[in-house]
Amino acid sequence: MVTIKSKKEIGYMKEVCKVVDAVYKKIESEIKAGMSTWDIDQIAEKEMIRLGAIPAEKGYSIGIPGVPDYPAATCISVNDEVIHGIPSKDKIIKDGDIVSVDTVALKNGFNGDAARTFMVGDVSKEARRLVEVTKQAFFEGIKYAKKGNRIGDVCHAIGEYVHSQGYSVVREFQGHGIGKEMHEDPGIPNYGKAGRGIRLEPGMTLAIEPMVIQGKPNIMELDDGWTIITEDGSLAAHYENTILITEKEPEILTLL
């Protein structure tokens, strides 16, 4: 069921989303070659705690036997890793890497969710273009995130833009509603038909997140039960914000 947030609940959503924005500003100011992905995770977790939030991803369970609860505050995916990369002291960031960080903060019972792909050092033109297209795909989508439109309008706009640029979207994972739960209805795939799905109403809060692959859309899951990589080894990027549907234009809560 899709939840419509009250004015008070929207206030809580805005507060936790400010924390998420601050986390990414902190990471952006500190990320560099030579750091481990665990170092970045610790920066994020400390910043959340400093601002009165907790990392909602830490201890998250997908309920599949044999798959451990998620062990970190962030998902950090490097180069051909698409999403859900587990931070590690052994994974060192190199000059030219693209590093996707996805995190969810929890405060006052509400979640805020965003993702960014950082370009570290001297990044290739191809990698830079991928990151820029992935980010722009989000903004192409939210042009349609308006009262009275359908969720399929957003999905269609993202997919069409990505494909027009010669890239692929991940089809097995999607954006989602967000609020008291990290994942709420509706599901928001990065492709689809315009004019389909629920109508958007003021008070809906949505996490919209293009996941874009440089090559073919095929993906694989690593043995850790979490990390998703591209099957052909091509680069991947991720960009996400939590937004609020209003009476007029959508409000991006995690980008201040």
pLDDT band at 27 (very low <50, low <70, confident <90, very high): very high
* 2 within some domain: no
> What would you report as the CA-atom Rg of the chain, rounded to the nearest whole angstrom?
17
Structural domain harbouring 91: 7-252
- Contact yes or no for 113/20 (Cβ under 8 A): yes
Structure tokens at 115: 């993702």
Contact indicator for 131, 83 with CB cutoff of 8 Å: no
Please name the helix (run of DSSP H) or strand (run of DSSP E) that holds residue 103, with its range, or none: strand 98-107
Q: Is residue 1 part of a domain?
A: no
Question: Mean pLDDT score of the chain, rounded to an integer?
Answer: 98
Distances in Å between the alpha carbon of 147 and those of 18, 208, 241?
24, 16, 18
Please give the tally of structural domains in the chain. Answer: 1
Region 171-199: what's the mean pLDDT? 98
In this prediction the pTM is 0.97
Question: What is d(CA 126, CA 215) in angstroms, rounded to the nearest whole number?
Answer: 12
109 within domain boundaries? yes
Give the per-residue pLDDT at 145.
Answer: 98
64, 36 contact by CB (below 8 A): no
1: helix, strand or coil: coil
What CATH number should be reported for the domain holding residue 31? Answer: 3.90.230.10
| pLDDT 10s digits, 201-229 | 999 999 999 999 999 999 999 999 999 99
Q: What is the mean pLDDT of residues 66-85?
A: 97
Which pLDDT belongs to residue 206? 98
Instruction: Tell whether 205 is covered by a domain.
Output: yes
| Percentage, residues of the chain above pLDDT 90 | 99
State pLDDT tens for residues 85-117: 999 999 999 999 999 999 999 999 999 999 999
CA angle 138, 120, 93 (to 5 degrees): 115
Q: Which backbone phi and psi does 247 adopt, to 5 degrees?
A: -70, -20
pLDDT of residue 186: 98
Q: Give the pLDDT mean for 147-168.
A: 98
Instruction: For 38-68, write each residue's pLDDT tens digit.
Output: 999 999 999 999 999 999 999 999 998 999 9
